[in-house]
Each structure stands twice: as structure tokens, then as C-alpha cells.
Amino acid sequence: MNRPGGKSKNQIGYPPLYIGFQWGEPSVGEDSLRVEKVGGSLRITAARPDYLSENRPWDFIGQYEKARKKPSINKLELGKDSPHIEFANAKGDDELITFVRKFGPIVANSWKMLPITVKPGPVETGDSPLQILMRARQDFQELRAEQKIFRASLALVAELGKKDSEYDFESTKRKIAEIGEGIADWPRQWARERKQRHQYPRWKISKESIGRIVHLSRSKRGGLAPQVDARIVLCELINAFPALAFPNPPEMHFYLRFGIRPLLYTILRREFFQPRDVAICANSQCRAFFEVQRAGQRFCNAVCSRRHRQRDYWEVQGKTLRQVRLANRAERI
Ligand SMILES: [Zn+2]
């Protein structure tokens, strides 16, 4: 049976919306969000999303889902496409800036709308002729701290994916300590956001949660399964950013305007509930996160695997050569 009201009828004058979870999109004439370094912070300028295009590289959750469905075809970089892995793997300030240029601030210390401008060019595409530009500031220290917290959190997820016998209690403890140290600043950020919004932000971390995490980072190995500590920490983090539903795009965007951190922890929630084998590269010089593409994969790419084999080879070779040298010397004596 046909449903009343055909597709075309529904869409007269209303281009379809492709709702995505994103902070912004490039303003007309630009191909990424504009990011400028000003003192100790980043100034980010972008258009408020109008959700009219299906393909949006700046949609954080959309890109995560895309990476899930279709893993990388670039054989050199297996399973590093997902934006949450890109963030966790970011090395140094330049890579963090590249990330912000794609997806916007993680946590903005200010947000404002710029005067409305009219988009240049033809408007008969159904596109809105108006462009709403926004500007946010992201403190660089806070950005680095967020990356450290998220990296440690993802490491806990990876640790929970291991067999009991491989679970590294000491390394988990260090990660928990890093998380506890980092999120100690979240209440201050919450208060700052509340002041600017003139209402309570919908995410929140309690003092009790932070205290619990700090306490776990100092506790000795107890009688419970050691994995319980990591689970408690992940739950506390995830529960700070509740799963919310929004009746329309403006309300959703209102939630995200102070940064996409809630989206990072949405992904952490999914990874925690449905672990998809996130692993850390076994090459000790690399330690990058990657999504395991085949059983037993230990390295994030072919280069790391080769380096590791070469190191093993030289370790064995070195030992043999040393033994030969020692033997020769012994003979000469
Ligand atoms: Zn690697």
C-alpha cells in the first residue's frame, strides 16, 4: 500500500535535511573550518550547519559510522580512519590543529554568533541565502589535556578487550591517574560554560565521580577482578555526558556549541558497550591506536610490523655477533 503523500509532495520547497552531529561547517568559499592561533588559544570560525548536504566530512559521528562500515582501503594505515582514533593518535600541536580544523573545538571557552551575512553566488539550489557564522575559542592547554584524557580512556577500552592473562594492571593504573588529573578541571569548565549559557550545561561531572577515579588510581590490587577499576572509570566518564534526544537541529546544535566533547564520549560509550577490538600498536616506538582488521593483528601498519621484525632480527643478530666476537677474543688470549 502506498503511503499517503508522495515523496515529491513532502519535499516541495523543503530540501531534505541530513541531520549530523557536528559543530560547524566551512563558510562559503572555504573547504575547512577556519582556525587561527591567537596567543595560547585557537580561534575557530565556521558556519552553523544547515544540514543540507549528505556528504559532510565535518560530521563527527557521521565520519565515525562511515569508518565503521567501510574500513580504510589505504593498506598502510589500517583502521585509523575513525575521527575518535584520529584524535587519540594526534601527535603534537599541528595534528591537534588539523583535527580542530575538521571537527571544531573539543571544549570552547567562549562562543558567539557573528553578524549574519548573505552567501555570495546563486541561491536557486534551495540553499539558504543566509549564512550564520560563529566563532569559538579553544584554549590550547585544555585541548592538549582533553586529548590526554581521551587517549587514556580509549586505552582502558583497549585494555578491557584483552584476555584476563594479558590485562596490564599497572598500565591501567597510570591511565586512571592521568584521567583523574585531567578531569579535575572539568567542574571549572562546567561553571564557565554555565555562566556563558545562562543556564546549566546538560553534561556534568560530580566531585564524587572525580574523587572515585582519583581513589582508584591509588588503590592496591584488590580482591575484585582487576578490570572492574577500568569499568568504573569508563562509566563515570560516559555518565558525565548523558545520551540525549533532540526534537530539532537547533536544539542539538545548542548543546554542541561549546565543543564536541559530548560526541567524543558518545563514541566512547559505543566502544565500551560494543567493543570492536581497538588495539594499541605493539611497536613500542609507535603505540598508535588502530581498529583490529584481522584476528591477531598486532601492528597498526606494515611499516611498524617491518620495523619490529627488523628489531627482532638485529637483536638476535647483535647477540650472535657479540658471541662470535667474544669467542674470537677468547681464542686469541
Ligand atoms: Zn604502529
Give 88-143 as a DSSP string. HH--HHHHHHHHHHHH--SS-SEEEEPPPEEPPS--TTS--SEE-EEEEEEEHHHH
pLDDT of 308 > 90? The answer is no
Query: Of residues 4 and 327, which shows the higher confidence score?
Result: 327
Q: Tell me which of 43-47, 105-109, 274-278 is least confident.
A: 274-278
Q: Which helix (H) or strand (E) holds 238?
A: helix 227-239
C-alpha of residue 320 to centroid of ligand 1, in Å? 28
Distance 197 CA to ligand 1 centre (A): 42
Distance 36 CA to ligand 1 centre (A): 31
pLDDT at position 121 is 61
Q: How far is the CA of 167 from the centre of ligand 1 (A)?
A: 20
* Local structure of 134: helix, strand or coil: strand
Residue with cell string 582533553 = 146
For cell 592561533, what's the residue?
37
Could you tell me the distance, in angstroms and rounded to a whole number, from the CA of residue 17 to the centre of ligand 1? 39
- The whole-number pLDDT of residue 172 equals 93
Task: Mention every residue, 6+ apart, whose C-beta is less than 8 A from residue 172.
Answer: 156, 159, 226, 229, 230
Strand partners, 45: 34, 135
Residue 11 has pLDDT above 50, yes or no: no
Cα–ligand 1 centroid distance for 279 (angstroms) = 10
> Are 80 and 289 contacting, i.e. CB atoms less than 8 angstroms apart?
yes
CA atoms of 194 and 192, how far apart (whole Å): 5
Predicted confidence (pLDDT) at residue 10 exceeds the cutoff of 50: no
Tell me, in angstroms, the distance from the centre of ligand 1 to residue 84's CA: 17
Other CB atoms within a 10 A radius of the CB of residue 33 amount to: 23
136, 114 Cβ separation under 8 angstroms: no
CB atoms inside a 10 Å sphere around CB 321: 11
Element (H, E) at 314: helix 302-332
Please compute the mean of the pLDDT values over residues 233-250 and round it to a whole number. Answer: 94
Distance (angstroms) between ligand 1 centre and the Cα of 181 equals 27
Task: Look at residue 165 in the predicted model and tell me its pLDDT.
Answer: 86
Distance CA 45, CA 137 (A): 9
Residue 127 three-state SS:
coil
Percent share of the chain, pLDDT over 90: 58
Q: How confident is the model at residue 182 (pLDDT cuts 50, 70, 90)?
A: very high
Cell reading at 238:
560516559
Output the CA 138–ligand 1 centroid distance in Å: 29
Q: pTM to 2 decimals?
A: 0.85
H or E element in which residue 11 lies:
helix 7-11
- Give the Å distance between the CA of 75 and the centre of ligand 1: 13
DSSP three-state, residue 65: helix
Cell numbers standing for residue 247: 526534537
List Cα–Cα distances, 281 to 44, 99, 243, 258, in angstroms.
32, 21, 31, 33
CA of 290 from ligand 1 middle (Å) equals: 8
